[in-house]
Structure 1
């Protein structure tokens, strides 16, 4: 009995595993809906607001009326403001026009609640607005207030002059073409003839703005901002769908044909006639095209959720129900893909001809016709043709035979073509399956190497269907390598911070504490007191400079630096630096060779930050250069770029690389006997790169060369 139970379980375990894996993949896919939605929205940034332009056009007339009523303190009719005398002569239609204008006001106040507006009377500066935001900041094209720009996703400024002529004074990246056919939009809405004119507002400026963060979720602006095209969701979904389908295909290829045949569920499905099974698979597969709409509907289908609330279901329960339906949807899609691949394996293993005969409705019908034909032939051999009835019957059979033979000729011609095609298809698919297996083995081998810690594995072959997995694998490699590099760098920086900066902070701090203790002695001489105070001043200044350098490099590294870019003469800036450091340069025994262009070299730079770069580099030269050696400072004016080169001979043997010296806390003397924080080159490099330039260090023996490159 136990053996029978075991055998019974074994007959279902393959399908059970397959369904379990497909269920897991389906749950993963549904859990990615939020991610897919985010990708779709990111790729759809800058949603164009063409759909609302006609509403803005019509709202101009509503706002102008409201402003006039505010100014005069009296109610005004729309028809008196905007309809010509020719139109107003027809008094029967004036009420209709007034009602239509009132509908425009309802549209503005109730259905466009997320729309901010401001209207200004250009003659007396009277204003009317519905927002606390200062929309007048958007009127001029040279907008300097970044807060207002960051607040609005869309804005437009419309100006009507004293004649009612319109001018789009300012807008951001969206077209506005509803004035190309003057008054055509509003005349069509009011039902006026083509020859009849609408009187435009005069001497007013109107500003509209749609915020990035919408306050109301029940108006047309909010709906249209969420109404992303299905193709956007399709593009966001595609990579994930390819991966899970690839997993299912791999699974169906890995499972042996013998195991599939032993499984009762899979074997029963494979024995369904091809036409029925293919129709089911194709129908289910066709539902893939519905995926983008289903994802959007699952995330934003408030109508269904509100409808279920009527039956007492909460929103959370309704959403769980939708997610369960989605899981079932993906299970059906993935399982149909698995069955499709398994069916191909079944056809090739069983043999194409045999499969057509036994597992297709056409084959079965053909065999049925053949068997019946043979039966008819056997009966014909027993007919007595001398009897009149038999002769008549023979004529009918003969005519039927000719018709059936003609149809059979066409039919068997089609069957022959199908057989030829099936044979060709067999060899093509066999080759394709071999390629899949080969590419899979390459991918599997690379995956195993990466799992073993080899992050430099490179797959040069084209993996065909697995190419997306190859790309994802390379991203994983890159991500792992970056993570390892960042971790190593982070650990090294922590060590540097502890060992170097703590040393640099401790040294002057210890001196300060020591000299403070000495100053506490009331019996010290005045001369020693002054000497101690001078030492305290020098050590405290060093401590101050070190802390300032730490803050400076921290801001520069995080790019939290405000740049004031101006057109700067880089030659004059270098000469200014030379003048500021002239005392230190003259005190040194170094011989400076300055080679500058005679003309001005104008570069867009932050003069203060660039001065700091030149100052750090020159101080390093004075501090670490070999005594009595020459220093070369060159400025070369290129066609598109400017090069500043500083070359000096190092006093100490250079035992570091060009990459190490520009890192934070690195010094020219590793003994750290000289004063300094080791942050000068790091600050200089950060400031140069923040301005779009490049700082490059070259080392040749004891020659130390720094090259700065700026775009003109």
Structure 2
């Protein structure tokens, strides 16, 4: 296809160039010929005026038309200027002629009529004693109220030679301009289509599933926007593809681990490897793994619904502080077991916002569960609620090891676990914070994390006080 486009552009530009040069050349040729002919006609007029003055001078000297003297004058002029001269009476009969041709000659009525008011000139084929193209110049003169006509025949082969030379120059110029123009168009077209070739190759690689290719920056505005868009598209698809592969790998791993444990323990109970007195203990482990699988599937379904946009939140006006306290009470036993102190709730004001109660409670649940998992034993949980004119802000901070800058950048990714949490968190599936971030998107809110390594980790969620209808 590119070759076809390339050929079409090249041939079109070349044809336009040749046509333009040819048209310009023809116009110049016609204009130059006309100007040269005009200059020649002006010269004919000057010559005719000289002869006319001589004839009038001879007539005035003798008060009659001296045929013999006039014959001599015209013959002399013919020899010196290489022109034929004829003098006709008002009837068109030749009175005097400069040549010795015995052929009778007369001036037609049409020529006499054409020269009645102003000199008449016609450039055409050979005439008179000339074998080449000639110019016939006729001028009317009056002597004592008697009309005469002076006709001059000029050889004008030089006009044809001038046209031929000019035409030759035009053809050579046209060939040179066409060759140079075609070369320039060829190189320019190749340069213009080079980015399109690169874009096509990149698109072919994308179609094959290879998103590693990136297009170079182009200075051309239109193609530059196209390449930028292609690169952004490739980045987006490549990121999604890597995310999909990582997601499949992580899901496979998360499913394989509990399934292996369940299968091993069940097989051990069935074949008697596990003694009867220990079977209850291992059945509890199997139950725990089944519950973890259930949470994993449930979380995956929620994320899928969030990403597909099929979940429609049910907004209602809720006391955010009361909802936070209610959620925290669900972890009362775990808080007591780790000897944690809870701070900040006693000064939290009642703050109302329009939210989906179930979703926001899941956010509080996930963040609180996460905080209790990684708080140091005997540490502190700090909770706070504040608001401004537009949003309510909920802070949940726990003391402990904290997160590094690298870990903060990935903490909301699916199945992401820090190196430390992989050893300490054996019940989680790595989807809690990912779900939190998606619920915040549904509420047009945000979730941010602050942390100082070795001191604390704090999550801050911000939700609009009022929700507005969003167009699909």
Q: Above 0.5 in TM-score? A: yes
Give the unaligned 5+ runs of structure 1: 1-16, 22-246, 256-337, 402-429
Preserved CA contact (<8 Å) 2:443 2:464: no
Of Structure 1 and Structure 2, the greater helix share is in 1
Structure-2 residue corresponding to 1:11: none
Contact 2:444 2:464 in 1 (8 A): yes
Q: Within the alignment, does 1:682 sit opposite 2:424 as a pair? A: no
Aligned to 2:245: 491
- Partners of 1:501 and 1:665 within 8 A in 2: no
| SS in structure 1 at match of 2:310 | coil
Q: How far off is 1:597 after superposition?
A: 6.6
Is it true that 1:704 corresponds to 2:442 in the alignment?
A: no
Using a 3 Å threshold, how does the CA distance of structure 1 residues 531 and 357 change in structure 2: closer, same or farther?
Answer: closer
Secondary structure at 2:449 match in 1 = strand
Shift of 1:344: 4.6
1:670 aligned counterpart, secondary structure: helix
Deviations 1:15-42 (A, max 9, x none): xx99x92xxxxxxxxxxxxxxxxxxxxx
Find out whether 1:665 has 2:415 as its counterpart: yes
> Helix, strand or coil: the match of 1:554?
helix
Query: What is the distance in 1 between the residues matched to 2:453 and 2:400?
Result: 9
Within 5 A, what are the aligned runs for 1:615-626?
615-626=365-376
In structure 2, which of residues 235, 245, 255 is the aligned counterpart of residue 501 of structure 1? 255
* Pair 1:557-2:307 in alignment: yes
Question: What is the CA–CA distance in structure 2 between the aligned matches of 1:685 and 1:642, rounded to whole Å?
Answer: 16
TM-superposed deviation, 1:505: 3.9
Partners of 1:494 and 1:534 lie apart in 2 by 28
Do 1:568 and 1:603's aligned partners in 2 also have CA atoms closer than 8 Å?
Answer: yes
Partner Cα distance (1:678, 1:545) in 2: 11
> The residue matched to 2:116 in structure 1 has which SS?
helix
Mapped pair 1:645 → 2:347: no
Q: Cα distance, 1:617 vs. partner?
A: 0.7
SS in 1 for 2:462: strand
Contact 2:10 2:185 in 1 (8 A): no
CA distance in 2, matches of 1:647, 1:436: 68
The residue number in structure 1 matching 2:28 is 357
CA pair 509-484 structure 1, distance change in 2 beyond 3 A = same
Q: Is the 8 A contact 1:512 1:540 kept in 2?
A: no
Q: Counting strand residues as a fraction of each chain, which structure ranks higher?
A: 2
1:503 and 1:660, CA in 2 relative to 1: closer, same or farther beyond 3 A?
Answer: farther
Specify which of 325, 345, 350 is matched with residue 17 of structure 2.
345
C-alpha spacing 1:393/1:538, structure 2 compared with 1 (3 Å):
closer
Change (3 A) 1:529 1:254: closer
Partners of 1:670 and 1:520 lie apart in 2 by 28
Aligned equivalents of 1:582, 1:438: Cα separation in 2:
76
TM-score, length-normalised on structure 2?
0.58
After superposition, what is the alpha-carbon deviation per residue over 1:80-121, rounded to whole angstroms, capped at 9, x for unaligned? xxxxxxxxxxxxxxxxxxxxxxxxxxxxxxxxxxxxxxxxxx
What's the offset of the Cα at 1:475? 2.4
Counterparts in 2 of 1:447 and 1:529: CA distance versus 1, 3 Å: closer
* Aligned equivalent of 1:547: 297
Structure 1 CA distance, aligned partners of 2:224 and 2:189?
Answer: 10
- Rounded to whole Å, the distance in 2 between the matches of 1:636 and 1:440 is 63
How far is 1:251 from its partner? Answer: 4.9
**TM-score, with length taken from structure 1:** 0.41
CA contact (8 A) 2:376 2:400 kept: yes
**Conserved 8 A contact 1:568-1:605:** yes
Task: Give distance in 1, aligned partners of 2:380 and 2:426.
Answer: 21
Report what 1:607 is aligned to: 357
Q: CA deviation at 1:677?
A: 1.1
Q: Aligned ranges for residues 158-557 of structure 1 at < 5 Å?
A: 247=5, 251=7, 254=10, 338=12, 341-346=13-18, 354-358=25-29, 363=30, 367=33, 371=37, 374=40, 381=48, 384=86, 387-388=89-90, 393-398=114-119, 441=191, 444=194, 448=198, 455=214, 457-459=216-218, 461-463=219-221, 467=222, 469-515=223-269, 524=276, 531=281, 534-557=284-307
Q: 1:455: Cα distance to partner? A: 1.7
Q: What is the alpha-carbon distance in structure 1 between the residues aligned to residue 404 and residue 272 of structure 2?
A: 40
**Unmatched 5+ residue regions in structure 2?**
49-83, 93-111, 123-179, 203-211, 466-472
The change in CA–CA distance for 1:520 and 1:496 in structure 2 (over 3 A counts) is closer
RMSD: 4.5
What do the CA deviations read for 1:678-701 (whole angstroms, capped 9, x no partner)?
A: 111112222221222222234432
Alpha-carbon distance between aligned partners in 2 of 1:657 and 1:673, rounded to the nearest angstrom: 16
| Structure whose CA Rg is larger | 2
State the secondary structure of the residue aligned to 1:646: strand
In structure 2, do the counterparts of structure 1 residues 519 and 572 end up closer, same or farther at CA, with 3 Å as the change threshold?
Answer: farther
